Amino acid sequence: ETGVTQTPRHLVMGMTNKKSLKCEQHLGHNAMYWYKQSAKKPLELMFVYNFKEQTENNSVPSRFSPECPNSSHLFLHLHTLQPEDSALYLCASSQAPGRGASSYNEQFFGPGTRLTVL
Amino acid sequence: AQSVTQLDSQVPVFEEAPVELRCNYSSSVSVYLFWYVQYPNQGLQLLLKYLSGSTLVKGINGFEAEFNKSQTSFHLRKPSVHISDTAEYFCAVSDRANFNKFYFGSGTKLNVKP
């Protein structure tokens, strides 16, 4: 397994269901991210974890609950979602930022989970 | 907060023709700039990045981009496109004070026709 993997690739759920999205990175990185990609809208950063600690929550509703048990795994727990939450959810990883341009590290993306909320 | 504008939501072009995908960003502070490509049913892949130094940046698959600070632009170009370049392209910005917070444009779909 290489790079960043996400499971499931597709998920259909009702508004009362509880489900989880999983992301795993095999790159030795220590920062992980969740993004939401909706049609015709810019990619939205949801959460950032550096060294397993959440450092960014971009005003995401509480029906989305992230979990980062270790630097290789990231989960997004979903409950009582709304139809407008239907989107492609992308996970990414990178090295945690250092100082100076030479220490910058790009983000590597997984293939995404296509979520449909009925 | 930053904002990134990709002026064209779709760009149709014939194979072997040149293409330019436009990107403008809002901030006047020092930034890092990126172009990512997304093929159908896949995640985003980095094409190229500008961190510092030469304003002309070369990336993978024959793409290049030029950073223009005065115009706050980072347009992507390729002199001769192939059918395989059909994909969606995203411009992204992060400011140097918060490296891992990226701001993305809404994307440009490049459709290369035979």
Pairwise CA distance, residues A84 & A4, whole Å: 26
- Which amino acid belongs to residue B25? Y
A1 or B41, which is more confident: B41
B50 in A contact zone (CB under 8 Å):
no
Q: Chains A and B: how many Cβ contacts under 8 Å?
A: 60
pLDDT above 70 for B93: yes
pLDDT band of residue A23 (cuts 50, 70, 90) is very high
Inter-chain residue contact B100 with A33, CB threshold 8 Å: yes
Nearest-5° Cα angle at B66, B60 to B71: 150
The shortest CB-CB distance from B44 to any of A42, A48, A109 is to A109
Q: Helix or strand or coil: residue A1?
A: coil
B8 in A contact zone (CB under 8 Å):
no
- Structure token pair of residue B100: 């891992």
The shortest CB-CB distance from B100 to any of A41, A42, A48 is to A48
Pairwise CA distance, residues A98 & B51, whole Å: 13
Residue A74 sits at φ, ψ, to 5 deg, of -140, 135
pLDDT above 60 for A103: no
Mean pLDDT of chain B: 91
Residue B3: per-residue pLDDT: 87
**Shortest CA gap B42–chain A (Å):** 4
B29 or B112, which is more confident: B112
Span A51-80, pLDDT tens digits: 888 888 888 999 999 999 999 999 999 999
Residue B99: per-residue pLDDT: 67
pLDDT band of residue A1 (cuts 50, 70, 90) is low
- Structure token pair of residue A6: 């996400």
Residue A3: per-residue pLDDT: 92
Span B31-73, pLDDT tens digits: 889 999 999 888 899 999 998 888 999 999 999 999 998 999 9
Selected residue of A43, A50, A54, A91 to mutate for chain B interface (largest B Cβ count, 10 A):
A43
Residue A98: per-residue pLDDT: 62
% of residues, chain B, pLDDT over 90: 71
Mean predicted confidence (pLDDT) in A17-27 = 95
Q: What is the DSSP string of A44-71?
A: EEEEEEETTEEEEE-S--TTEEEEEEET
pLDDT above 60 for A99: no
Helix (H) or strand (E) holding A41: none
Q: List for chain B the helix, strand, coil content (%; round to 5).
A: 5, 50, 45
Pairwise CA distance, residues B93 & B99, whole Å: 9
Residue A25: per-residue pLDDT: 96
Pairwise CA distance, residues B112 & B114, whole Å: 7
B70 in A contact zone (CB under 8 Å):
no
